[in-house]
Amino acid sequence: MTDTLRVLGISGSLRKGSFNTALLRTAIAKAPPDVKVEIADISAIPAYNEDLRTQGFPATVEKLRRQIAEADALLIATPEYNFSVPGVLKNAIDWASRPPNQPFAGKPLAIMGASGSTSGTMRAQYHLRQIAVFLDMHPINKPEIFVRTAHNAFDGSGQLHDEGTAKLLPQMWTALVTWTHKLKG
Ligand SMILES: Cc1cc2nc3c(=O)[nH]c(=O)nc-3n(C[C@H](O)[C@H](O)[C@H](O)COP(=O)(O)O)c2cc1C
C-alpha cells in the first residue's frame, strides 16, 4: 500500500470563480501524502463532432485521454445544470470515451459537487453515475459530497468554510484510496 496513486481531477465548470473548482482544489489540499493529483484542463475541447473525430482526436482530447489512461483513479467535481451534468463536462467525457481504447474502463471514480441550491448537485451526480456505468467505471458509493448553497460554503477567495464538507473530504480520500488498491489487486 505504499505506491503513490495518481488521481486525475476534473472540474465540470470553466468559470474562474467556480465553486466546483474550489472544491476540487480543497480536496487536493487534503489529499494523503501517497496521492498525487493532476487537474485536467477541459476548457479548450471543441464541441463533439464525429466528422472532426474521423480526422483524428484534437490535441486537447489526446491529452485528456492520455491523462485518464495514466491515472489510477478519477475525481470529478460537477456543477448541476438543469438537473444534470454541464454540457462542457459531458462533451469532454464524450470525446475522451471514443474508441479505440476507451480510457475510462475499469477506473475507480469519486464524485462530488457544489451548487447554489439546497440539493447540492444530487441530480447531476446521479446522472454522472449513470454515465459511469456505460463507461465501465467503478465509482465509490460513499461518502456522497453535496455542497449545498455553495455561495455560503466558500468565501470570496475560494476557501471552504463548510465544516460538514471539510469532514467528508478525508473520508472520500480513504474510500477512494482503499477502493483503488482493492481494484488493482
Ligand atoms: C445553465 C445553468 C443551469 C443551472 N441549473 C442548476 C440546477 O439544475 N441545479 C442547481 O442546483 N443549480 C443550477 N444552476 C446554478 C449552479 O449551481 C451555479 O451556477 C453554480 O455556481 C455552478 O457551479 P460553479 O460555481 O462551479 O460554476 C445552474 C446554472 C446554470 C448556468
Q: Is 138 exposed, middle or buried (0-12, 13-18, 19+ CB in 10 A)?
A: middle
Residue 118: C-alpha distances to residues 150, 152, 177 (Å)? 9, 11, 29
Which stretch of DSSP H or E encloses residue 8?
strand 5-11
**Domain containing 92: what range?**
5-184
Domains in the chain, number: 1
pLDDT tens column, 65-84: 999 999 999 999 999 999 99
Question: Are 74 and 137 within 8 A, CB to CB?
Answer: yes
Assess whether the previous peptide bond of 46 is cis (omega < 30° from 0): no
Residue 50 has pLDDT above 60, yes or no: yes
**Cα of 80 from ligand 1 centre, angstroms:** 5
pLDDT in tens, 114-138: 999 999 999 999 999 999 999 999 9
Strands 73-77 and 5-11: parallel
**What is the rounded CA–CA span in Å between residue 150 and residue 143?**
18
Three-state DSSP state, 5: strand
Q: Which numbered atom of ligand 1 lies nearest the CA of 12?
A: 26
Alpha carbon dihedral 6, 79, 21, 152, in 10-degree steps, equals -130
Residue 7 has pLDDT above 60, yes or no: yes
Ligand 1, atom 15: closest residue by C-alpha: 116
Query: Is the predicted pLDDT of residue 42 greater than 90, yes or no?
Result: yes
What is the rounded distance in angstroms from the CA atom of residue 63 to the CA atom of residue 60? 5
The pLDDT, as a whole number, for residue 2 is 57
What does pLDDT average to over the chain? 97
User: For residue 3, what pLDDT band results from cuts at 50, 70 and 90?
Assistant: confident
pLDDT digits (tens, 9 = 90+) for 143-169: 999 999 999 999 999 999 999 999 999
The C-alpha cell 477541459 sits at 42
Overall pTM > 0.85: yes
Give the mean model confidence (pLDDT) for residues 102-110. Answer: 98
Cβ neighbours of residue 54 closer than 8 Å, sequence gap 6 or more? none
How many Cβ atoms sit within 10 Å of the Cβ of residue 23? 30
Residue type present at position 75: L
Going from the Cα of 19 to the center of ligand 1, the distance in angstroms, rounded, reads 10
Residue bearing the CA closest to ligand 1, atom 4: 81
Distances (CA, A) of 164 to 30, 110, 144: 14, 18, 11
- 82 Cα nearest atom in ligand 1: 8
| Residue 62's CATH number | 3.40.50.360
pLDDT of 95 strictly over 70? yes
